[in-house]
Amino acid sequence: MTASKIHTRDDAVAQVADWHQQGLRVVFTNGCFDIVHLGHIDYLEKARALGDKLVLGLNTDASVSRIKGPLRPVVNETARARLMAALQFVDIVTLFDEPTPLELIEAVRPDVLVKGDDYSVATIVGADFVLSNGGSVETIALVPGYSTTALIGKIVAAYG
């Protein structure tokens, strides 16, 4: 059942176009989502509350390694995609391998683009595109003390 929420880019674009025709407000966010924790859940739940549907752009394994280093991701893209798709407030998961999600954002054409408040609107990739097409860009306060990097550090410290 959760696998049905994982879409190719083309299928995601077609589904979003259908939702737009229905007058639904589509929210987009992206990330690695390696080792899911409370911060991820809180963030995604709040992102979905900004619209009717939530599209999640998920970095491929190769992309995560380029961003986070050769030891990441800890959880492979297939498992990460299934985990994200299992969340009731995520409507579509689609993978991207490019250095940034800009091409995916331009293809999906969301009404709302969301990132954590560790970004400013000026530094959010795709913000200019979404704003120029009448959409909005929002930041969501992150839950203090929760990050995958910190969690990995805690595991390493405890279990070596």
pLDDT > 80? residue 1:
no
First to last CA, the chain: 37
pLDDT tens across 73-105, in order?
A: 999 999 999 999 999 999 999 999 999 999 999
pLDDT digits (tens, 9 = 90+) for 9-25: 999 999 999 999 999 99
- Exposure letters 100-136 (e unless 16+ CB within 10 A, then b): ebeebbebbbbbbbbbbeeeeeeebbbbebbeeeebb
Domain-wise residue ranges, the chain = 2-159
Can you read off the two tokens belonging to residue 100?
A: 């940034």
Residue 1 structure tokens: 């059942």
C-alpha to C-alpha distance for 34 and 15, rounded to whole angstroms: 26
Q: Are 137 and 117 in contact (CB under 8 A)?
A: no
Q: Sign of dihedral through CA atoms 46, 82, 15, 98? A: positive
pTM for this one?
0.95
Say whether domain 2-159 belongs to CATH 3.40.190.10. Answer: no
